[in-house]
Amino acid sequence: MLTCKKSYRDIPFAHRQHHHDGHCALIHGHNWGITLTFACKETDLNGFVVDFGKLKYLKKWIDSNLDHACLFNEDDPEKDRLLELAGHLFKPYFLPSCSSEGLAQHLHSVFDPMVREQTDDRVWICAVEIEEDSKNSACYTVG
């Protein structure tokens, strides 16, 4: 298996950990980083695992869904109230868990099918690393 990595840096978005017993229960933001590890058994004709120039669809998804968004857990008890404000004050994005760990796992479930489709199943994502500012990170790894 061969791998390569692509990083997307300084993506501003906020989240709220409503189960947290401290200040993380409040909406707060970070500059995030997303690093995707691509894998394949055989390279393309250029000798690439994946052509970085052909990943614009991933950047477009990040810009549309995460850039300047507010991430919330799907079970947030304030979900209905938050949705009432959506569009006027912020761009909401709901997922099972908006922790760094949950985001890594969620983004794998979003990006892996996209990459497989774009590469005719030659390439897959074997890891997603999320950086919360420059101090904290979490990684979801497959296999």
Angle ∠(106,112,123) on CA atoms, nearest 5: 155
The pLDDT tens digits for 36-92 are 999 999 999 999 999 999 999 999 999 999 999 999 999 999 888 888 888 778 999
The pLDDT value given to residue 87: 77
Contact 68, 30 (CB under 8 A): no
Provide the total of helices (H) and of strands (E) in the chain, helices listed first. Answer: 3, 6
**pTM of the predicted model as reported, rounded to 2 decimal places:** 0.94
What sections of the chain are H helices per DSSP? 56-65, 79-85, 100-118
Q: How far is CA 7 from the centre of its chain?
A: 11
> Domain ranges in the chain?
2-141
Q: What is the second-level CATH architecture of the domain 2-141? A: 2-Layer Sandwich (3.30)
Q: What contacts 142, CB < 8 A, 6 or more positions away?
A: 108, 112, 124, 125, 126, 127
The pLDDT value given to residue 26: 86
Q: Is the pLDDT of residue 138 over 90?
A: yes
The pLDDT value given to residue 113: 98
CA 94 – CA 20 distance, rounded (Å): 17
